[in-house]
Structure 1
Amino acid sequence: MQKFDAIRPFYDTEVNEAIRASLNHPMMKAIMDFTFPDVDDEVWKEQLRRTHSIRDFQCNFIYQAVQKVLEKSSEGLTTSGFEKLHKNTSYLFISNHRDIILDTSLLNTCLFEHGLVMTASAIGDNLVKRDFMNTLAKLNRNFLVQRGLSPRELLQSSKLMAEYIGQLLLRENRSVWIAQREGRTKDGNDATHSGVLKMLGMGSDEKNLMDYFKKLKIVPVSISYEYDPTDALKMPQLMAEAKAETYVKEKNEDFITLLSGIIGQKKRIHIHVGDVLDTELDVIAQENDNTNKQVQALAQAIDDSILQSYKLWPTNYIAYDLLNKTDKYKGHYTEDEKSLFERRLEMKIDVTNDFMVESFLNMYANPVVNKSKYENAI
């Protein structure tokens, strides 16, 4: 399908050549040294030379790299909900978005361990401007979301991506991961942007949009990190937005954020996959004859699943209590945990700046606020 060549990952027939071309790149060596610290270069190079498919690359190298990341920068990954998914079945996973690379890498790790279909995953083309990063993304079954387009180009790009996602899910039996919004959540308020759903809907040939979404088998995903390794890095953008200023990224900012997310301390991590949205879509179709209202109702259904299933950590409750000068949730954390969080706050940001302190605390406290809106969710 040549029409997708600008955005698609490698075909398996292209994998070996791409790997061989990247074999001696310093970043490949850095990844392999991190993943296999006690293995001679020639051993992993020979293994890579014998790799001829994305699945082999993911299972033998990326899966191992993710295990190393978890070992070095977390206190473990827990999961829930995966047992409800069916093997050999493709799903459209729509998740909250906290980390550029790890959200999807960790989901794929869980899918692999549960014997489920792994995903093709959306990634912004701003993150793969370097040739090696582009190659690595395509080896890891990422497809490109084109950024910075004119309105006309954006329309064309969105239609192409919608068609490609439909092709993957409905014809190739390949699961897909996409974030609920463009860019990571900066303030802890996880909300599905209707623009993402409208883009997905562009691939529909159904009379009723909800019938098409039923075919895609949407599964909302809640990803929760006890510590956000990029929390302090989000501050400059939040400050600019508060002053109604246009935020301009530094030259290597995306790359630094990407790296910090991978190697920064996360403590505990939890991933919950919700139920496939099905009967909810029938109700939405019955109650709304207007497409825009249907899309808004679907966004709300995804949000309801993500927020209710979001795993709250001591850090979230501590931040809420500090922000609101209360001890409402003191039963959810220890004094040691509170001291540790306060120390992190002092180390990460300028605590004499009230706005920064408030923004930092909100980032952790907002999931508590959002989850508390659902009866018996906390």
Structure 2
Amino acid sequence: MGEFDAIRPYADAEVSAVLRRLAADESFLDILTRFRYPRLSKPFSRLLKPLIAHRLRSEFRGIDSVAKLQDRIEPYVDRTIERATDGVTYSGVERLKAGSAYLFLANHRDIVMDPAFVNYAVYHAGLPTPRIAIGDNLLQRPFVSDLMRLNKSFIVHRSLSNRREKLAAFQLLSAYINHSIRSDGESVWIAQAEGRAKDGDDRTDSAILKMFHMSRKDEPFAEVIRDLRLTPVSISYEYDPCDQAKARELYTRATTGGYSKAPGEDDQSIALGITGYKGRVHVSFCPPLTEPAEDAKQLAQEIDRHILGSYRLFPVNYLAYAQWEERDPALAVPDATALFSAEELAGARREWQRRLDACPVEQRPYLILQYANPVRNQYRLKTGLEL
């Protein structure tokens, strides 16, 4: 068994066997049947599942590498993005050089779509897609683990409770990320903090930056970060399909002191995040850090300045900020009417009001917060204030 076998993505030699396993997985077939035939899946499940399995085997025929699988899947990904967005734009991708591997450190709003949009930008720029860090809490069913590891995902063990086991897991993760970039020449995508930023306040956890250094502690911290070509990435969604659920969770935490996920809640978030309406999406690749700070906390602040400063603000962000009771009067935030056309603003007002109306009154401050925070952060940066 190789050093990284427990967490690494599947290799090309494993692809065919995993695809055969997926085509026979009852849970996977059941989900596909419900998705493809929502009305017929219950009464005719036993008849439909063999048809789905046959279709899968046909689709998988001849696929014996990860690259071939991604090429086959890409039209479906593009179609899903086209249906659920009003367009995806990206900037800074021209800075990425063919033959170089990067450590993409991104803000985290959606479980699946954050790395998917980075993949989308990189793939269409003709560059290899990165390997993706994903928490083991999302891989509780074997077919989900198979699907993610086929798509270049590697596992981050977050569910460990023993301190020694956690330390060993982070050491292995650090070694794998360094090995991927330095030895394999494969880029890596990882979120700037564990869990999604449900309040719209994108902040880098310095513990993640320390983890990158764990397997190379005999080398200077800044040198390791520079060697990994750490590249901040800022992903901006005009509308978050999961904003209502996030508002509910924030409200529950504020009023009860905690929040327990219902069974299947992660699955619902994944599905809604993929298929739900997002408006426009922008992915900004910031310059790789060539002179990183020597200290993890200072580096986290530096990365935050890149990610928050590159976040694309949409009309809805300004509309939410104008309604936010905690907005900062010291910040010179212009009114949305000064920045956007009347037509664009009218459409944003309709969509924003629809979302407010769908949100229980007591939870609305937490919905507003999600869209207002990026405005406050960016204008604090512009004013030279501390974040």
TM-score normalised by the chain length of structure 1: 0.89
In the alignment, structure 1 residue 131 sits paired with structure 2 residue 138: no
> Could you tell me how far apart the structure 1 residues matched to 2:168 and 2:273 are?
32
Q: Is the 8 A contact 1:91 1:217 kept in 2?
A: yes
Please point out which of 69, 78, 95 is paired with 2:89.
78
1:1-378 to 2 correspondences below 5 Å? 2-24=2-24, 25-26=28-29, 29=32, 45-61=57-73, 63-150=74-161, 151-243=163-255, 245-279=257-291, 281=292, 284-285=293-294, 294-324=295-325, 328-333=335-340, 334-347=345-358, 349-351=359-361, 353=362, 356-375=363-382
Give, in whole Å, the separation in 2 of the partners of 1:105 and 1:340: 25
* Alpha-carbon distance in structure 2 between the residues aligned to 1:108 and 1:267: 19
Do the aligned partners of 1:32 and 1:44 also contact (CA within 8 Å) in 2?
no
User: For 1:64 and 1:30, how far apart are their aligned partners in 2?
Assistant: 20
Q: Give me the identity figure in percent.
A: 35
C-alpha displacement of 1:138: 0.8
Asked if 2 retains the 8 angstrom alpha-carbon contact of 1:321 and 1:327, the reply is: no
Q: CA deviation at 1:43?
A: 6.1
From the superposition, tell whether residues 113 and 335 of structure 1 become closer, same or farther in structure 2 (CA, over 3 Å): closer
How far is the alpha carbon of 1:69 from its aligned partner? 1.4
Which whole-Å CA distance do the structure 1 matches of 2:221 and 2:371 have between them? 35
Aligned pairs, how many?
A: 356
**Structure 1 CA distance, aligned partners of 2:120 and 2:75?**
9
Give the letter for the 1:184 counterpart.
Answer: R
2:155 is paired with a residue whose SS is: strand
Unaligned runs of 5+ in 1: 35-39, 286-293
| Structure 1 residues 164-209: Cα deviation after superposition (integer angstroms, max 9, x where no partner) | 1111010000000000000000000000001111111112254311
Per-residue deviation, residues 94-139 of structure 1 (Å, max 9, x unmatched): 0000110011011111111111231111111111111111110111
Q: Write the deviation string for residues 262-294 of structure 1: whole angstroms up to 9, x where unpaired.
A: 011101100000001012x2xx33xxxxxxxx0
Kept in 1: contact 2:131–2:188 (CA 8 A): yes
In the alignment, the residues of structure 2 paired with residue 230 and residue 257 of structure 1 have an alpha-carbon distance, to the nearest angstrom, of 7
Q: What secondary structure does 2:351 align onto? A: helix
Any stretches of 5+ residues in structure 2 without a counterpart?
A: 38-50, 328-332
Q: CA RMSD in A?
A: 2.2
3-state SS of 2:280 partner: strand
Shift of 1:304: 0.7
Letter in 1 for 2:3: K
